[in-house]
Amino acid sequence: MTALLEVKGLVKHFVARRSLFGRALAHVKAVDGVSFTLEPGKTLALVGESGCGKSTVSRLVLRLIEPDAGTVRFDGRDLLSLDPDALRKFRREAQIIFQDPYASLNPRMTVGQILTEPLALHDLVPTAHRRERVAELLRLVGLEPRLARRYPHEFSGGQRQRIAIARALAVEPKLIICDEPVSALDVSIRSQILNLLRELQDRLGLAYIFVSHDLAVVKHIADRVAVMNLGQIVEEADAGELFAEPRHPYSRALLSAIPLPQPHARRAKIVLQGETPSALNPPAGCRFHTRCPFVIDRCRAEAPALVADEAGHATACHRVSELPPADTILPTAGGFTPELAKLVAAFSRKTEGASLAGVGIQSARPTTT
């Protein structure tokens, strides 16, 4: 399948400090040589710690900020060479959903005005039919058309994010960048928004770039995952493959921090030692070597290339073939310690007042008759 989006060698350095005469003295290397592709109707997740550059990549793809180097091709067109008219047309085909639904909507505009604005800017729908189109968009995201007369402050966070999604859909895009779209929402609402995004993707054939630091969320929505560290991709693979068998030490550390839904499951937790290097002065060689438990001298001197195997699983690590099996961080059947097992058993008793020897806890469940 032909790629919808192709990014090669993307670089963006921000000036952090200037001299008295305006000469740049220090740069933040936010994005440093990022490359990836995205197929139509698929979801690529960019994950990593705060400050790794994933949100900057999304803004570079949309040309909200200009890159220092690299190429971005969308549907066969070089985005960095577009004239203003062509760039305006591209804006129709690629939209973004921001993290904070409270700040991304104009508080002085009604929902109807918010959704009508892109229709008018791009002259997509005749004036007489715009109200009908607004009603269609609201129904598409699970809201009633009568809510079009209300203002953003009258909605909950989840409803506001639905409005933001409807605004992105108004121009009928091919690509939507979801920049932490559920991180500001209550846990009970997140699954609803994620399910809505998947339903819209299946119905409309949308491609997503899903930016998140929450791997538990990414696992349920992504087709492919790229793990970023200090402005570079260190591992990229199909989502199922990466979660089942992560290869890079950084990916393994991130996955080991995901809470397990099985209370009896146990696993080794990888605790990274040392401080995270600064993007102002990233270390030589592999940028993860200051925290990597498997570091060798070569890691400190030589930056590893991102190399893919036959299945398309790419890893930037000199020792990828020498690392211990990935199941060291995956759930294992283990059970609790004897003391904790007694506590669990005490709370699980079906008769009121029952207790185990050595545990002074009564059952929390009343007797049923």
- The answer on pLDDT for 102 being more than 90 is no
Bigger pLDDT: 144 vs 265 = 144
Length of the chain: 369
Q: Report which of 38, 32, 8, 3 is spatially closest to residue 209, judged by C-alpha positions.
A: 38
Tokens representing residue 342 in the block: 């007694």
On whether residue 190 sits in a domain, the answer given is yes
> Quick one: 87 and 212 in the same domain?
yes
Last residue of a domain, one of 196, 222, 248: 222
- The answer on pLDDT for 17 being more than 90 is no
Last residue of a domain, one of 222, 246, 261: 222
- The answer on pLDDT for 162 being more than 70 is yes
- The answer on pLDDT for 336 being more than 70 is no
Last residue of a domain, one of 222, 256, 281: 222
359: pLDDT confidence band, cut at 50, 70 and 90? very low
On whether residue 288 sits in a domain, the answer given is no
pLDDT digits (tens, 9 = 90+) for 243-268: 999 999 999 888 877 666 655 555 55
pLDDT digits (tens, 9 = 90+) for 184-222: 888 888 999 999 999 999 999 999 999 998 888 898 899
On whether residue 208 sits in a domain, the answer given is yes
Amino acid at site 65: I
C-alpha distances in angstroms, 29 versus 13, 23, 247, 283? Answer: 5, 17, 25, 12
> Quick one: 216 and 341 in the same domain?
no
On whether residue 285 sits in a domain, the answer given is no
Q: Report which of 233, 202, 187 is spatially closest to residue 45, judged by C-alpha positions.
A: 233
On whether residue 318 sits in a domain, the answer given is no
Containing domain of residue 109, as a range? 5-222
**Tally of domains within the chain:** 2
Phi, psi of 278 (to 5 degrees): -85, 140
Task: Please provide the average confidence, as pLDDT, over all residues in the chain.
Answer: 85
Tokens representing residue 173 in the block: 């895009």
23: pLDDT confidence band, cut at 50, 70 and 90? confident
**Over residues 33-46, mean pLDDT:** 97
Q: What is the CATH number of the domain that holds 139?
A: 3.40.50.300
> Quick one: 49 and 191 in the same domain?
yes
On whether residue 134 sits in a domain, the answer given is yes
